[in-house]
Structure 1
Amino acid sequence: MSEKRPLAALPSNGKAISISAVAEQAGVSIATVSRVINASKPVSADTRERVEAAVAALGYRANAFARSLTRGESRLLLVLVPDFANPFYSETVKGVASVVRRHGYNIVLAGAPDALAPDTGAPDALYSRLVDGVISLASLHDLQPAIRDMPDLPWVACSEFVEDGGMPHASIDHGQAALDAVQYLINRGHRRIALLGADESYVWARQRHAGYEAALKRAGIPLDAQLVRVARGTDYSLGMEAAGALLALESPPTAVFAVSDTLAIGAIKAFRRAGRRVPDDIAVVGFDNIPLAQVFEPALTTIAQPMFELGAAAARLLLERLAGGHPRSLTLQHALVVRESA
C-alpha cells in the first residue's frame, strides 16, 4: 500500500517542514503525529508531550486545507452573487459569513451565471468538489445543469429561489412587500403609479411586479402598460434611463415604485435633472433599504429587506444540510420604511 504524501507547512523561517520531520524528531510514526495534531485518537501523555515538543522545536504548522481534504471536506462554501455592485448582495454576504465562520467554514465568492462558464474556475470548484456546499443569490434557471449533475452537493437559495422547488431557501414575501409599497402610494392619493421593474427571469422581479398589479386591481385602478418600464439591470444609471422614458409620456406618473433602491435612486436623479421635485412633483418608493437609502437626499421611502438576516438564515440552512438535516425554507419579515421621497 502506498503511503500518503505528508502534509507540509511553512514555519516562521520560511523553510517547509513536513509531518515526517516531526515524526522523526519525536521518535514516533507519522500516524501518531496526525493523531496528536487532529485529536482523532487518544495517545499516551508521554507521546503527546514528545510530539508537541517536536512541533514547537521545528515550528511545524499543519496545512488546515489539506488536512480537511483528507477528511473528505474542504470547509469552503461557494456563494454565487449576480451583481457585486449592488449593495443588497454585499450586505447579505456579510450575514452568510457571520454564521459560517463561527462554524469553521470560509466562503468563496463567484459571480453567476457568467462565472460558471467553462473558461472560469467556478465549475472546477463545483465539479471537483472543492467546496462543501453552495448558497446561491443568483437566478437558478441557468444553474440547473450544475445542480442536476451534482445531486449530492448541498445547495441553498437566498432571496432568489425556485418556486415549488425542493431546494430550501431563505427569502421574504416579495409579492406582499410590493403590494404594501404600492398601497402606501395609493393611500397618499396617487392613481398614476409607474413600475420600474427588473429582469423577470428572477423570481423576486416577477413577484414584485405581481404585487404592483395586485395593489392597483384591489384599488380599482386600471393597469396601464405604458407605466411599466423594465430596466436593463439594477445599476443606478439604468434607473435613470428607465425613468427618463416615463417622463417622456404624454401623461407621466405622479408616483413610481422601483423594485430596487438602486433603480429608485437613479430615477430620482433623472427626475431632478428634468426639473421635477421629489416628492412634490413625483413620489418614489424603492425596495431593499440599502445603506445609501437613508443618507441619500431626499431619504428614500422603501421596503426594508432584512439583508444581513437573510444571509445568516441561508447559512444556517446550509449548515443544517451539511449535518444531514432536512431544513424547511424560511420566509423573513419585511417592513415599509417611510422617509422623505414619498
Structure 2
Amino acid sequence: MTSRTPRKSRSTSGIAASANGPSASSISAVAALAGVSTATVSRVLNRSKPVNAETQQRVEAAVSQLGYRANPFARSLTSGESRLILVLTPDFLNPFFAEIVQGIESVTRRSGYSILLSQASDTAPLDTVYERLVDGVISLAHLRDPKALSGTDRKHNLPWVACSEFRPDDDIPYVSIDHRQGAIDAVQYLLNRGHRRIALLTAAEDYTWARQRRIGYEETLRRAGLTVDPALIRVARGTEYADGIEAVGGLLSLQDLPTAIFAVADTLAIGAIKALRRAGRRVPEDVAVVGFDNLHLAQVFEPSLTTIAQPMRELGQAAVELLLGQLAGEKPVSRMLPHTLVVRESG
C-alpha cells in the first residue's frame, strides 16, 4: 500500500456551508478580541506553527471568554485532515469487538484523534460522508472486497488497517494473532489431559480466523495419530451464546459422545456449557470445554472457562499505531501479537 498524500481538495457540497456559519464568524471575533489575525488564531488552535507565549495567552483568553469551539468539519476542508478515524465493526454488542475498540480509543485520544464507529458488512456501502471526513480506516469486519464498500479502490484513497480479521492474500496491512497456533495449543492441551474424542464447535469458515482455527484443530489431531471425525465438527449459525447452545444439540444426539469440546469463541463455549448442563452433563467431569478469546465473562462464568487469550486491547492499540504510521508516510508492516493459554475450571 502506498502512503497517502494529504487530501487538500475535498468535496464541499453539504459541508462547506459550515465554514461560513457561526464557527467561521467566531474565529474572526476571537481574532479581533485578541488583536491578532485569524491565521494566528488558527495556528494557536491547531498548533500548526509556533507562536510566542504572549500571543498564545491572548488567543487562549479570547477563546475562553467567547466560548469559541473550532468546527472540525470546516477545518478538514482547509487542512486536508480531519483527525477522525473510521472504525468498521461487524457487531457493536459483541464484547470481543468492544474490547478492541477500547484499545483503539486509548491511543487515538492520546494522539489527538477521534473515532467514528460504523457497523459494516459486504452488502452495506460505506457512507460517502465518512469518505470525505476521515483520515483512515481500521476494519474489524470480515470484508471479502473492501473496495466494494464505495465502488472505488479505497485502498489508494485512504490508509486501511485490518484488525484481528484479515485476508492473507490481500495487500491491506493487518494486526492479528496466529489463529492456527492458538487452536493447536488448545487441542494439544486437551490431548495432554488424556482426551482423544475432541469435538470442534466452529463458525462459518469464510472468516479467516475460523478457517485457521479449524486447520489447527485438524492438524493437531492428525499429528497425534487420530482420525478427524466429521461427526464431531459442528458449524454454528453465528457466534452468539444461543448459537453455541444450538450447535451442541447435534453433539448430544451422538451415540458416542465427545469427552471434550474446543470452541472457536468464548461465546460459543459458554453456550456449549449451558447446553451440556441442561442435558445433565457435568463440565469438566463428563465433557471438558475450551474456548477462544478470554472475554471478561470467561473469568466469572461457572465453571470459569479455560481459553486461548487474545490481547484484545493491544490489538486495537497496535492497529492505531500502524495506521498513524501510514499517515506519517511510513511503510506499513503487518504484525502478529502473542496469545496465551489460560487454564481455568472448564477443561
TM-score where L is the length of structure 2:
0.87
> Could you say which residue in structure 2 is the equivalent of 1:263?
268
What's the secondary structure of 1:101's corresponding residue? helix
For residues 86 and 53 of structure 1, what CA distance do their matches in structure 2 show?
Answer: 44
For the 8 Å contact 1:7–1:63, the answer to whether it is kept is no
2:74 to 39, 45, 66: 66
> Could you say which residue in structure 2 is the equivalent of 1:100?
108
For the 8 Å contact 1:113–1:142, the answer to whether it is kept is no
For the 8 Å contact 1:7–1:19, the answer to whether it is kept is no
> Could you say which residue in structure 2 is the equivalent of 1:117?
124
> Structure 1: which amino acid aligns with 2:303?
P
What's the secondary structure of 1:314's corresponding residue? helix
What's the secondary structure of 2:165's corresponding residue? coil
Does residue 1:309 correspond to 2:314, yes or no?
yes
What's the secondary structure of 2:289's corresponding residue? strand
Deviation at 1:84, TM superposition (A): 2.2
For residues 51 and 319 of structure 2, what CA distance do their matches in structure 1 show?
Answer: 39
Does residue 1:8 correspond to 2:11, yes or no?
no
For residues 331 and 47 of structure 1, what CA distance do their matches in structure 2 show?
Answer: 47
2:298 to 271, 288, 293: 293
- The 3 A distance-change label for structure 1 pair 85 and 27 is closer
Aligned length: 329
Deviation at 1:285, TM superposition (A): 0.5
> Could you say which residue in structure 2 is the equivalent of 1:85?
93
1:143 to 143, 146, 166: 146
For residues 192 and 48 of structure 1, what CA distance do their matches in structure 2 show?
Answer: 71
- The correspondence of residues 224-239 of structure 1 with structure 2, limited to 5 A, is 224-239=229-244
For the 8 Å contact 2:124–2:149, the answer to whether it is kept is no
What's the secondary structure of 1:110's corresponding residue? strand
Q: Which string of whole-angstrom CA distances, capped at 9 and with x for unpartnered residues, describes residues 236-270 of structure 1?
A: 00000001111011212111000000000000000
> Could you say which residue in structure 2 is the equivalent of 1:13?
none
For the 8 Å contact 2:85–2:115, the answer to whether it is kept is yes
> Structure 2: which amino acid aligns with 1:8?
P
For the 8 Å contact 2:84–2:113, the answer to whether it is kept is yes
What's the secondary structure of 1:194's corresponding residue? strand
Deviation at 1:55, TM superposition (A): 4.0
Deviation at 1:108, TM superposition (A): 1.1
Deviation at 1:123, TM superposition (A): 2.3
> Could you say which residue in structure 2 is the equivalent of 1:130?
133
> Structure 1: which amino acid aligns with 2:146?
L
Percent of aligned positions with the same letter in both sequences? 66
Q: Which string of whole-angstrom CA distances, capped at 9 and with x for unpartnered residues, describes residues 44-93 of structure 1?
A: 88876765565454333333443244211111111111122221111111
Q: Which string of whole-angstrom CA distances, capped at 9 and with x for unpartnered residues, describes residues 181-232 of structure 1?
A: 1111111111111100001111000000000000110011111111111101
Deviation at 1:39, TM superposition (A): 4.7
2:330 to 305, 321, 325: 325
- The 3 A distance-change label for structure 1 pair 49 and 95 is closer
Deviation at 1:130, TM superposition (A): 1.3
- The correspondence of residues 160-239 of structure 1 with structure 2, limited to 5 A, is 160-239=165-244
> Could you say which residue in structure 1 is the equivalent of 2:29?
21
For residues 226 and 45 of structure 1, what CA distance do their matches in structure 2 show?
Answer: 74
> Could you say which residue in structure 2 is the equivalent of 1:12?
none
Does residue 1:251 correspond to 2:256, yes or no?
yes
TM-score where L is the length of structure 1:
0.88
For residues 285 and 36 of structure 1, what CA distance do their matches in structure 2 show?
Answer: 55
- The 3 A distance-change label for structure 1 pair 254 and 27 is closer
> Structure 2: which amino acid aligns with 1:97?
E
- The 3 A distance-change label for structure 1 pair 41 and 307 is closer
For residues 294 and 309 of structure 1, what CA distance do their matches in structure 2 show?
Answer: 19
**Structure 2: where are the runs of 5+ without partners?**
1-15
Deviation at 1:167, TM superposition (A): 1.3
